[in-house]
Structure 1
Amino acid sequence: MTTTLMDQEQKRLLKKFHTLLAKAGVDAAGKEAILSGYGVESSKELTTYELLEVCNKLDKMINPKVAELDQWRKRVIASIFNYFGALGIRSDMNRVKGTAARAASVETFNDIPLEQLRAVYSAFTKKAKTVEQVNVVTEEYIKDIKLLN
């Protein structure tokens, strides 16, 4: 019997789930409460997606720094999408993450440390506001010129 990648991932996440439960100090009653939230009685009944979700929640509970990094990553992504939107450029997640990584001089998006995430967020937020202000001034100027003609 061959195992698929999803089966392997499911096994890996099951191990991670039980490891995180132990690290978080969650007892049997707590585990049952978590599982009942997903409508199952055993962790083996959870889907791969559900395991991933519950592992992420437990990870954030154990390590609040992870939650803060996640929050700043989302802010950076939003600020870069906003900047591209202000420029009238359509973009996708890969381009946005690549832009953030290049701006922070790192290999991949998830390698950006917290302080650089804050700096990149601030820079792109300011750039987007500047572009929007320039667009407003330019539109007013063009409107005034048209009135003179």
Structure 2
Amino acid sequence: MTAMTEIKVGESLEQMQMPPVTRLDLIKYAGASGDFNPIHTIDEEATNAGLPGIIAHGMWTMGNLAKLFTPYVEDGFIEDYAIRFRNMVFIDDVLTLQAVLYKEEENKREFKVAVVNQKGQEVVNGTVVFRMYEVGMAG
């Protein structure tokens, strides 16, 4: 793995393809988040709401983007996260997580991020600010 400091503007973090979205993923997320809106877990409720089927929680989709930065936990942390929800995510969708470095300062890296489904549609996009730990600073 490349260190965060070696990534240059215009380069991407390694893309991550997630396994297909399952009902169990969304049930677990509902329990963890406290978001029990039935459009995320019950077929009939989703169709009654005018949806073609169960949709994933937007925050579940957004939260998965952080997985791209997990390998860099020793280099720094996500300082800021700004996201737009573009399309719905459904059961069996296969999502690919993407991040491209677009700006760097002394101890800060700014990334354009996206989640893309198997049809090539962005379902989420936005920015992540990754703050590098400052070397030699005593806490």
What TM-score, normalized by structure 2, do the two folds share?
A: 0.27
Which structure is higher in helix share? Answer: 1
Structure of higher CA gyration radius: 1
Bigger relative contact order (CA 8 A; separation at least 6): 2
What TM-score, normalized by structure 1, do the two folds share?
A: 0.26
Which structure is higher in strand share? Answer: 2
